[in-house]
Amino acid sequence: MTKQFVYIVILVFSLSALSKISFAQTDSSYHQSDSSLNIAYHITPPFVSVENNNIQGPGAWLWKQVNLEIDLYQQPQILSFEQVLSNLENGEVDICISPLSITSQRMEKFDFSVPFYTTKTTLLTRSIPTWKRSWRFFKSFFSLNFFKALGALSFVILIFGFAVWLFERKHNNEEFGEGIKGLWNGFWWSAVTMTTVGYGDKSPKTLGGRVIALFWMFTAIIIISGFTAGITSSLTTNEMSTNIASTQDLKNKNVATVKNSGTAKWFEDNFFNQVHYYTTLEEALEALENEEIDYIAYDQPILQHVINTDEANSFELIDFSFNAQFYAMAFRKEIPAELKKKISLQITKATESLEWKLLLNEYNLIKE
């Protein structure tokens, strides 16, 4: 019995020692794999760009902060956007340091760090030259909407002018008088009263005329506001025609985006069947400049960077956004969970720092 007990104790200690050796080997292999990680990035200004053979931008800065705490530094290789996505999926790339939008489709193929930036999709269109804007405004004076508003306003003025003229034509013949001339004087009085000009050359003398005049003075204040807004709207109809009020308006527009992007996924999920897809943003910009498309829908900070670097002022942003997105670094599925957790922790610490906020401000990435 004593010998059996001794054998059991020896067996337990042996198994314990073997498990420690196995754990040590796994841990050693884990660190060894760290030193051979394949790091990649794609050009995504303003987050990641290359200047003088050096990676610049907030995305590059974040990766440097990770490497200050975790010794993972490898010289990242530059790839195209399409290559990054495919290589992450097939295991040729371990980590992508450029920002990628988190989508369910991508999460099935590779993993993500914690998000470090939130944004939305916005619209880019061709800039309208000043002379074209002026010409559009001038043409608005001859539009049907303008003449409708002007005609309605004239009709209201005529009604009150006619009402005053009915009372004044016999008792105030010098200022209003009979016939067409008197009716015109009533129209004139009504117009100057409505606009609060009040020349004083015409004024009602009868009780009925003054009652109508008093009512018209107060009513005109309300009416003129509505008609002014109507006329202003008719003059700016052409300018407003480029505005997008809702995402449903995009279904009637000639819109493009970058293939396999977060915006492309949104269009597919929301049944937009007429969208043009380009491999790169540069191809889409060229198509926009050549008037092959009317709008580019893409990530707001990236399109804002296009505006900031557009010396020819060829493009402008539409004040409309949709499709919230979360930027993060991406990992190959097989990367150890502990390493992903460590990297995410360092990203979180870095984005909480003052340096990160100053860097975002430097690259015009602070959201108001």
Residues 154 and 181 in one domain: yes
Highest mean pLDDT among 134-143, 198-207, 308-317, 351-360: 351-360
pLDDT in tens, 321-350: 999 999 999 999 999 999 999 999 999 999
288 and 265 in a common domain: yes
User: From CA 236, how far away is CA 146, in angstroms rounded?
Assistant: 10
> Strand pairing of 95-101 and 39-41?
parallel
Q: Are 314 and 336 within one domain?
A: no
Domain assignment of residue 83, yes or no: yes
Instruction: With residue 278 as reference, give the H or E element that holds it.
Output: strand 276-278
pLDDT of residue 186: 86
pLDDT at residue 261 above 90?
Answer: yes
- Write out pLDDT tens, residues 143-195: 777 788 788 888 988 999 898 888 888 878 777 878 888 888 888 888 888 87
Task: Note the pLDDT of residue 66.
Answer: 93
Domain stop point among 169, 203, 238:
238
Residue-range definition of the domain harbouring residue 265: 125-130+245-325
Given 215, 238, 261, which residue is the final one in a domain?
Answer: 238
pLDDT of 54 over the 60 cut = yes
Phi, psi of 200 (to 5 degrees): 90, 0
CATH number of the domain encompassing residue 285: 3.40.190.10
CA dist 20 and 249 (Å) reads 64
CATH number of the domain at 229, please: 1.10.287.70
pTM for the model stands at: 0.67
Task: Say if 162 falls within a structural domain.
Answer: yes
Q: Considering all CA atoms of the chain, what is the largest pairwise distance in Å, rounded to the nearest integer?
A: 138
